Amino acid sequence: MAAETQYTANTGLVQISTANSNLDGTGTLGTVLTAGANGTLINSITVKATGTTTEGIVRLFLYDGTNTRLLNEIHVPANTPTSTNPSFEFVWNCDIKLQASWLIKASTQNAETFNIIAEGLDWAYYGGAVRPESTNYTANTGMALATTANSSMDSPSSNVYTSLTAGASASGWKGTRVESFNIKAIVSTTMGMIRLFISDGTNTRLFREFPIPAKTKSSTETAYEFKTSLGNFNLKADWVFKVTTANTESFSVITEANNWKYPA
């Protein structure tokens, strides 16, 4: 076997209109898109109001089949469309590789109607032998909810949350390439820290720290969020990324990564 990449458009579309002020994934959500078998490359997510808006927030979530975690919040201004003034519209160029079968969901703070459109591409691989070194990638999206404080800087043993597990070597994965690390608070925050650790199964060592500012969320103010590139860090197969929060405040931590293997 070898691999050549083939793409299939996967456009997600949902209309939401039921008010939901929750940031924890409960309440009414609309399903925007479901990822394909190897994952789905989501280029952009468009939020388009169909009428007058009051100041509020549209929220985007990830769902892994069990947990629903906040991914992003989009502030919506007050706006009255007319024949010459368009309704609210926002395009988030997210460039997310979403793991197979995972869902993007959406909610609206206010009971106003929005169309949520995701531009996605599923990818697959040609099954015939092409080149022995042809590489197959499968999206590996990590997701954790860090809630309880832990100030340990080395080998934290409690209140440490697994944010990503690299592909299993026993399944043929050669490692996991980590692209980005997304921190999204779901509560008001005080000054603190999110810490990222690497674990080899025996040792859990500090890798990065991300300072958290004080920010008060409300029905019109988004909670703190931060996204950083990890520069395509190559994490060894079976190794794990873990996170802690310095304060007992809830953060949705989403890691965007891809496992790779050589099918030939």
- Per-residue binder mask for another protein (CB under 8 A), 49-88, x = binder: ----------------------------------------
Shortest Cβ 47–another protein spacing (Å): 19
By CB under 8 A, the count of residues binding another protein is 51
**Residue closer to another protein, measured from CB, 123 or 161:** 123
What values do phi and psi take at 159, rounded to 5? 55, 40
Measured from the Cβ of residue 191, the count of other Cβ atoms closer than 10 Å reads: 11
Nearer to another protein, 15 or 209 (CB): 209
Of residues 16, 32, 41, 98, which one binds another protein by CB under 8 A?
A: 41
According to CB under 8 A, which one of 246, 249, 253, 254 is a site residue for another protein? 246
Beta carbon nearer to another protein, 31 or 134: 134
Distance CA 99, CA 140 (A): 5
Judged by CB under 8 A, which of 8, 26, 228, 234 binds another protein? 234
Site string for another protein, 202-231 (x = CB under 8 A): -x-xxxxxxx-------------------x
DSSP 86: P
Is 100 near another protein (CB under 8 A)? no
User: With binding defined as CB under 8 A, does residue 117 bind another protein?
Assistant: no
Contact 143, 252 (CB under 8 A): yes
Q: How far apart are CA 168 and CA 146, in angstroms?
A: 24
Chain position carrying tokens 């909670």 = 223
Length of the chain: 264
Position 242 contacts another protein (CB under 8 A)? no
Of 15, 26, 131, 168, the residue at the interface with another protein (CB under 8 A) is 131
Nearer to another protein, 7 or 15 (CB): 7
Segment near another protein (CB under 8 A); pick from 56-64, 82-90, 101-109, 201-209: 201-209
One-letter amino acid at 204 equals: T
Contacting range for another protein; rule: CB under 8 A; set: 17-25, 26-34, 108-116, 128-136: 128-136
Q: What does the DSSP assignment read for 126-181?
A: --S---TT--EEEEEEEEEEE-SB---SSS--SS-EEEEEPPPGGGT--EEEEEEE
Cβ atoms of 154 and 198 within 8 Å: the answer is: no
Return phi, psi of residue 169, to 5°. -65, -30
**Per-residue exposure over 129-147, b if at least 16 CB sit within 10 Å of its own CB, e if not:** eeeeebbbbbbbbbbbbbe
Closest distance of CB 177 from another protein, Å: 6
Per the DSSP assignment, residues forming a β-bridge with 245 are 149, 194
> Where do contacts with another protein occur on this chain (CB under 8 A)?
5, 7, 41, 43, 93, 95, 97, 121, 123, 131-135, 137, 151, 153-154, 166, 174-177, 179, 191-193, 198, 200, 203, 205-211, 231-237, 239, 246-247, 258, 260, 262, 264
